Amino acid sequence: MGYEIRKLWGNKIMLLGLLVLIFVSLYYGYENINSNLPEYVNMVDEAYKGKYTEEKLERLREKFANANQGEDEFFMYLSVCGEAEKCNNILEYRDSIVKAAKRLKKSSDTYISRVNSRIEKIYEDTPQLEIVEPSKFDRIVGMVRWQFVEDIISIMLVIFVASYIFTLEHGVNTHKLVFSSSAGRLKTYVRKIACIVGVAIGISIITHVCICAYCVVSGDSYIWKLPIQYYGEYIEAPYIISLLEYVIVTVVLKAIGLIVIGICSAVVSLWFKKSIIPVIISSVIMVGGYLLCSYNANYSPLGESVIQSRYERYIMFKKYTCMGLINNSGYYTERYMPVNVFDYPVDMVYVNIFINIIFVVAVAYAGYIVYRKRDR
């Protein structure tokens, strides 16, 4: 394993790609976090900060109605009243969902009854909401949610590593030593696959750390504890997770997607002795799939794009492939999306992870069958 890692670190193209990914991620995070916020966002009266209550909302509505147009006071109350209204909307939405679920769970249809029982249980949990100064929260969620350039670079880097790690044996003429022992083949194959998995996980972590780095060092540490429902597109989010937990979930989902791409690319490279051809083949397939998923992504919080609404296959491609995990991992946390599995509702994200794990294990096993028979 250590030997495989040292070989990768000795590759200048891989190091250059990693540096480019770090630079782009840092620049993306810096530009978004440090763009100017209106001055009035820091003018929230201390009396209204803290735990949200209906009494505070009523007082803010009254203050806002009496504020003088054109003055800083008006914009301040417009801002803080908006934050309080956001809290109120979150609670009202969850309450309406619970009431509807209690009614629908009495359905004679077993699956519908189970779905609504599950919905009632999830949405009964109430997030601890606070009235806070409009901050960088939305920008962080937006950066973590949409990483088009970073994703393309990450995919290309994983493809190159996966292709290079197998074709290198032929480049340095060591493949005969590996293939001289059947035990050596298995151990070498497992180590190479493990190395690809480690690289994929590392790339996902590095990307998110770089994007969030400036927010961490610039203060506002309290926003990491805020529930994800504060972000407009996540008002329907069923599970109450903090911003920090949301970032961790995104890291995990993207890592799984990159692992699938890496292992598939590695298996493609087994048929070649030079890395350039498998890199091109894998790039066309994987980057093409990502672009297709991105083009048909759901950019609207209220509905799906025209193409998605007309062609169910695009939605299936997004829901149940590794591209969905990479392109828009937040899609799985926006709202409750169950899948009917033997009349039991299972969260779509778990179904997608299960499908991808089974798929990548099968691909890796097929790759080993090819690998152990090479040059015999």
What does the pLDDT read at residue 336? 85
Mean pLDDT of 189-196: 88
DSSP three-state, residue 347: strand
Which residue, chain included where needed, has tokens 């529930």?
227
Instruction: Check if the beta carbon of residue 195 is closer than 8 Å to that of residue 259.
Output: no
Mean pLDDT of 130-143: 70
Residue 339 pairs in a beta bridge with 346
Which residue, chain included where needed, has tokens 């972590």?
205
33-37, 186-190, 264-268, 352-356, range with the lowest pLDDT: 33-37
Ordered by start, the domain boundaries in the chain are 2-35+136-372, 39-131
Number of residues written out for the chain? 376
Residue 227 pairs in a beta bridge with 242
pLDDT of residue 301 exceeding 60, the answer is: no
Q: What six digits make up the tokens of 19?
A: 């540096």
Give the CA-trace dihedral at 355, 299, 30, 159, to 10 degrees: 30
CA 31 to chain centre: 20
pLDDT of residue 124 exceeding 80, the answer is: yes
Among the listed residues 193, 151, 156, 144, the one whose alpha carbon sits nearest the alpha carbon of residue 17: 156
pLDDT in tens, 200-258: 999 999 998 888 877 766 656 677 888 888 777 788 888 888 888 888 998 999 999 99
Residue 175's identity, in one-letter code, is: H
